[in-house]
Structures are given as structure tokens and as C-alpha cells.
Structure 1
């Protein structure tokens, strides 16, 4: 599926084909403003270039509610850290072991805990926050989306939480999820450079390569001199493209890889 990551904004589902073990079915939910014939041609060319045979490609336009129901059924509760469960609001979970549950409601396909980048960001957040005074730390989540990383940070004991997202629908979703999970967080709809004042000791940016290239210089102004920056959303195919932007101003403390995705813990040079 990494061949089609630039079509993945609205989700990709991979399924087996019944009674045909040598085939898989990919369903990609692309931007509806794109031309269907162009998408079909582009996909055919990518598969041909990758020496992957294809039996058929079909395209159709879905309304928003059909799309939403299509991907939601595949998102299951997941144990993001030992004894910490991320549960989609529309799924049941039998909590017989009395684990801590974070419930996420979402009208967008990402930020439900199932993605590799969410897990690796969480692991690094836990690792680096353990040596900090969590009563005084500010944790800033850039592109907060559903607010999932802020909710995890709250469970780790971080008291001062700030999320920022340029999209109003995402900021509203983060506010709803924080309220539903009884987490106090400041959620800002706006731009990092102009709308977040002050500095943070932990900054999270689980984005993609294009916004990271723009934001990395700005993030340096918002991170405490002794702070930690955790970035993710870096796919194998664009790894070499982002590295000069990282190496210009940042020292790599740690890198974690999950599937085709790379996550970094960074500090300022």
C-alpha cells in the first residue's frame, strides 16, 4: 500500500479475496475533487512500474456517510501501551482486566490509535517524559487531529496539554474527545507560528513530510532549549527528502521504525 500513500488522506483498506488466496483487494478513499479517470490511469501506471499485476480497477464517488461507515468497521480497540486501551466510540470492548480506556470519537479516519505512527509516538512520549517533572511540563501536539496523543499524555501524568490544528473540524473533534475523557487541554485552531505563544518541553508532530518541511524551523522557536521534539509520518519513500530539514537544525536522539514509517526523537542543535 505504500505505492499509494499520497492517496491515503481518507484511508486505505486491504482485504483478502474470498477463495482466491493469491489476490488482495485494496480500497482507497481518495480526495473526491480528483478526476476518477486520472486516478485510475495513475494507479495502473504505478502497478505496472512495480511489476504488480492487476485484475481490475473500479472507481466510484461515495457520499460522506457511506465513506464514514466503510472505514469505521475496520478500526478495532488497540492496546497502545501496556494496560492502556484506545477504544473507538462505535466499538464495544469487554474490559474484564480493568485496563485504562481512552475513548475516541472521530469523523476522520486517522487518530484512532490503529496507525503505526501513533504507536511509535506514544512509545517515545512515554520514554522521554519519564525523566521530566510532569507537573511543570507543557506538551504541545501539532496537528492534534482527534487529540489522541494529548489524551495519552494525560494518562502518562502530563498536566499542561496544548493541541493546535489548522482545521476547525479537527480542533472541535479534539475538544470533544478531551471533554469526553475528562482531560483538561487547551485546543487552538490556528497556525503554530502566530497562534501558540511561549515554549513547550515536549512537542509532538505526527504529520507528513510536506508540513514537516515547513514547520521544523518554526518548531525550533517553540521548543524549550532542553526539550524533546517527537516527529512522525515519514514514509520510506520520502525519508531522504526530509533528512536535510532534520539535520539542518536538529540532533537525532532516537529513531524508531514501524512498517514503512519512521519516527524520531530530536533535540535542538
Structure 2
């Protein structure tokens, strides 16, 4: 039986003025994601997730040394190990076939779904990777790919934070080529390859780091959180071709202005904005 993945959850309190520096330190240590919560005007609680591939004491030492090196004043509330139960399949009841974009149905691999006329099917098993298509951010990005699909095809696509591979596969179904996926989570890359095999499709070219990608792309889609978008902004800029399209999601509506200004400083122009109940998706074009 495959062992359950394990992680560490570090909970720290830092001064509001030190939040960005602390997040940078966590990113350098391989953080898989962070959550922030304001305790007061001057204090913020940060929860940061790390792979459970090292000893707890070692990770704690690295956290403390890194924050001290950046002169961040902090209080480490807890550092806890937890695991994901791979045998718990109760979430499957919430994942039924559905139309993601016109002509493309997403169906779980355990469902027997027959395509209707003019329908394509993408069978998906997300495993522990993000991306079933049910989340607003994934839907926004898929709709964006559909929006730009038929303007002087073919186009190259970079799927940054590819998760289950759903957006890479959507791009392939829409005729984009070549398609490249990047995710720092090895499980996501494994799941993407498995989903490609399930659909008898060629897997996108996969990388574990944006630093490994050297080419420019006509469309870059980044469905990742604000802090990571901010941190990777210059590297993302380098991967977008002249007059290329940048699709940014994983951001809250109130964060749109901040990330828009970040990329406007890199000579991108806002061309469209989708806003849902909790999430936003910003489309930008790289100017000459």
C-alpha cells in the first residue's frame, strides 16, 4: 500500500512590517503554501506548509536561522506533523461530470461517461494534487484559455502551478501547442502524467521549477497565490513573449490592484478581469 503523504505545518506570529520578508524566507525553504491572518494592526499569524521529508528538529532550526538572518522578529507557536489519508475517498461524491467550457466535459476517472454530440471528455483523477475544475480559479483560467484559443492558432502555453494538469490538458484540447507544465510538487507532476495516460494524451513537457524553463510563451497561465506571484513576477515576465497573454488567478478580488500594479511595472497592460464570489482572474498583455 502506498504510504500517506506527510507534511509539517508551522504557525508563527510576525510583525505586519515583516510579513513579506518572512514569506520570502519560507519560500526559500521550500514552503508549499502559506496562509495569513491578521491578529492586530501590528501582528500577523502565518501558517506555512512544508514537505515531511526531513526531521522536525531540522526544519525548526532552518526556520529559526532563516528568519534570524533576515532580522525578522517572530514567535513560533507550533510546528506539527500531519498526514493525508489516501484511503479516505469521501470527497469523490462531490466530483461529478460537468461542463467546464463549451464542448469540454470534465469527468472523474471512476465514472462511466459517454460523450454527447460535439463534446470532448477529459477524465481526471486529481489525487492529492490541486485541480478538479470545480474551483473558481481553475474555471476562470480554463475560460481564459478558451477565450484566446482561436486567435491565430497555434499558441504555446506555460501552465505555472499545473497541479493535476487540468489546465495543460484543456490547452491541448483547445489546440495550443506546445504546452509546458511547472509544479514544485512531485506528486502533481506524477498525477499529471497519470492523467495524460488515462486520456491517451501526450503529457505536457513537465518541470519542477520555473528556472528550468528557458523559452518564451504566447500564453502563460499562473493559478497560484498572491505571494508566489509577487515573488516570481520577474521570472514570469521573462517567460511571456512580446504581445503575449498573461492569465493570473489564485488571487482575491481585493488583491487584484496590487498584483496588477506589480505587472504593470513590468510593462503589462490589463485587458480583462473576472471576479467571482471569492476569487479573481486577471488577464494582461505584454506590451512591446
TM-score w.r.t. length of structure 2: 0.67
1:240, distance to aligned residue in structure 2 (A): 4.3
In structure 1, the residue corresponding to 2:248 is in which secondary structure?
strand
- Counterpart in 2 of 1:33? 9
1:165-184 to 2 correspondence within 5 Å? 165-184=183-202
When the two chains are superposed, the root-mean-square deviation of aligned CA atoms in Å is 2.6
- CA 1:217–1:69 in 2, change beyond 3 Å: closer, same or farther? same
Q: Return the match for 1:255 from 269, 273, 284.
A: 273
In structure 1, the residue corresponding to 2:265 is in which secondary structure?
helix
- CA 1:96–1:260 in 2, change beyond 3 Å: closer, same or farther? same
Could you give the per-residue CA deviations for residues 134-171 of structure 1, whole angstroms, max 9, x where no partner exists?
1xx21111111111011111111123111111111111
Which consecutive residues of structure 2, in runs of 5 or more, have no partner in the other structure? 1-6, 12-35, 40-81
Q: Distance in 2 between matches of 1:74 and 1:109?
A: 16
- CA 1:242–1:96 in 2, change beyond 3 Å: closer, same or farther? closer
- Counterpart in 2 of 1:133? 153
In structure 1, the residue corresponding to 2:187 is in which secondary structure?
helix
Q: Distance in 2 between matches of 1:148 and 1:165?
A: 13
1:211, distance to aligned residue in structure 2 (A): 1.1
- CA 1:113–1:32 in 2, change beyond 3 Å: closer, same or farther? same
Q: Distance in 1 between matches of 2:148 and 2:84?
A: 42
Give the number of the structure whose residues are more often helix, by fraction: 1
1:70, distance to aligned residue in structure 2 (A): 3.1
Q: Distance in 1 between matches of 2:124 and 2:251?
A: 24
Q: Distance in 2 between matches of 1:131 and 1:124?
A: 12
Q: Distance in 2 between matches of 1:188 and 1:152?
A: 15
- Counterpart in 2 of 1:245? 262
1:129, distance to aligned residue in structure 2 (A): 2.2
TM-score w.r.t. length of structure 1: 0.71
1:222, distance to aligned residue in structure 2 (A): 0.9
Q: Return the match for 1:220 from 227, 237, 241.
A: 237
In structure 1, the residue corresponding to 2:90 is in which secondary structure?
helix
1:80, distance to aligned residue in structure 2 (A): 0.6
In structure 1, the residue corresponding to 2:133 is in which secondary structure?
coil
- Counterpart in 2 of 1:110? 130
Q: Return the match for 1:153 from 167, 171, 176.
A: 171
Please say if residues 153 and 175 of structure 2, whose CA atoms lie closer than 8 Å, have aligned partners that are also in contact: no
- CA 1:190–1:79 in 2, change beyond 3 Å: closer, same or farther? same
Could you give the per-residue CA deviations for residues 232-263 of structure 1, whole angstroms, max 9, x where no partner exists?
11113533443432332221111111222111
Which consecutive residues of structure 1, in runs of 5 or more, have no partner in the other structure? 1-30, 36-41, 46-60
Number of equivalences: 214
Please say if residues 168 and 180 of structure 2, whose CA atoms lie closer than 8 Å, have aligned partners that are also in contact: yes
Q: Distance in 2 between matches of 1:156 and 1:96?
A: 18
